[in-house]
């Protein structure tokens, strides 16, 4: 059985002291919940402060991005090995990076390779735009994103995929549980085509897009959905803890 995974993407929110406060508020509540892997992904500048607070707890740490080069004249960038001491996970290919920072499939592919090289576990985000969804192109877009992101990548056991329909991110307009489950099943089918059925069955595929404490169970109770990548609702300790708790209860009931 795949262990549920809930990750909070704090995006460009929280100062260092706010990040420290937020994770302090979460620590006890999250530690009391068994059977779910949990991670928070604060901004780069807060990683070290958050790492110190979660030391010895069940909370894991992720970054929101990295650059694929190891070192050198890349002003403002953060390399894989700068993160690998501090983090276990890294979000790659988030739609906001594709949309605002021009990240292409080729860049996403290089970033995944760079993360895996230093032992970071990538959380690869894929998902279609509203117009693509409305034109019935969701599957085509996802196949293309999976192919380009995973091109030439052999070892994918440490990879997690997050299906995030762009029209559902930060909009308050989540997909339905059935819609998300269907697309995630399609993603798993394509992972099996790219690799094999065993790898596809082991791989965790999350849903992301306006998940909150009120709608989490709708997604987490679907058979193909292995957890959630949570944006806005991960900035409130009680909401995030409630989502993780629901994931644990649903898993125990299975
Ligand atoms: C995200 O940032 O990955 C996300 C899903 O955001 P939100 O939950 O706010 O829609």
Task: Give me the DSSP letters along 212-223.
Answer: -TTTHHHHHTST
What Å distances lie between residue 92 and 63, 133, 205, CA to CA?
Answer: 9, 22, 14
DSSP state string for 25-57: HHHHHHHT--S-EEEEE--GGGHHHHHHHHTTS
d(CA 219, CA 129): 20
* Pocket probe mutation, ligand 1, options 229, 233, 243, max atoms within 8 Å of Cβ: 229
Ranges assigned E (strand) in the chain: 5-9, 37-41, 59-63, 89-92, 121-126, 160-163, 204-208, 227-230
Phi, psi of 80 (to 5 degrees): -55, -45
Shortest-distance Cα residue to atom 3 of ligand 1: 231
Chain centroid to CA 8: how far?
8
**pLDDT reading at 155 higher than 80:** no
For ligand 1, the distance from its centroid to the CA atom of residue 71, given in whole angstroms, is: 30
- For residue 54, give every residue at least 6 positions away whose Cβ sits within 8 Å of its Cβ, in sequence order, or none: 23, 27, 40, 60, 61
pTM of the predicted structure, to 2 decimals: 0.97
Structure token pair of residue 169: 């991110």
For ligand 1, the distance from its centroid to the CA atom of residue 151, given in whole angstroms, is: 26
Contact 239, 212 (CB under 8 A): yes
14-27 per-position pLDDT tens digit: 999 999 999 999 99
Closest ligand 1 atom to Cα of 208: 5
Closest ligand 1 atom to Cα of 95: 3
Which structural domains are found in the chain, ordered by start? Answer: 5-61+120-253 (3.20.20.70)
Model confidence at 171, in pLDDT bands (50, 70, 90)? confident
- Looking at residue 242, what is its pLDDT? 98
Closest ligand 1 atom to Cα of 11: 2
174 or 178, which is more confident: 178
227-247 per-position pLDDT tens digit: 999 999 999 999 999 999 999
Shortest-distance Cα residue to atom 8 of ligand 1: 231
40-53 per-position pLDDT tens digit: 999 999 999 999 99
**CA–CA–CA angle 212, 217, 218 (5° rounding):** 95
pLDDT (average), residues 121-144: 96
The pLDDT mean for the chain works out to 96
For ligand 1, the distance from its centroid to the CA atom of residue 49, given in whole angstroms, is: 23
């Amino acid at each position: 059985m795949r262990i549920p995974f809930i990750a909070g993407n704090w995006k460009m929110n929280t100062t260092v002291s706010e990040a420290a406060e937020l994770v302090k508020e979460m620590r006890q509540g999250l530690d009391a919940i068994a059977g779910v892997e949990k991670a928070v992904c604060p901004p780069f500048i807060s990683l070290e402060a958050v790492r110190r607070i979660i030391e010895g707890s069940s909370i894991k740490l992720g970054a929101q991005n990295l650059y694929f080069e190891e070192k050198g004249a890349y002003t403002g960038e953060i390399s894989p090995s700068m993160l690998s001491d501090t983090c276990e996970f890294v979000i790659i290919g988030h739609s906001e990076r594709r949309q605002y920072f021009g990240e292409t499939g080729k860049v996403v592919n290089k970033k995944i390779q760079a993360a895996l090289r230093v032992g970071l576990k990538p959380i690869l985000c894929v998902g279609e735009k509203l117009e693509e969804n409305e034109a019935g192109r969701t599957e085509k877009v996802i196949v293309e994103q999976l192919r380009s992101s995973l091109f030439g990548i052999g070892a994918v056991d440490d990879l997690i995929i997050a299906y995030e329909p762009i029209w559902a991110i930060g909009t308050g307009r989540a997909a339905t549980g059935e819609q998300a489950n269907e697309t995630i099943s399609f993603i798993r089918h394509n992972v099996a085509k790219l690799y094999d059925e065993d790898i596809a069955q082991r791989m965790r595929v999350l849903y992301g897009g306006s998940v909150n404490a009120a709608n989490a169970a709708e997604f987490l109770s679907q058979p193909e959905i292995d957890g959630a990548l949570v944006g806005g609702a991960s900035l409130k300790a009680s909401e995030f803890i409630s989502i993780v708790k629901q994931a644990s209860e649903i898993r125990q009931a299975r």
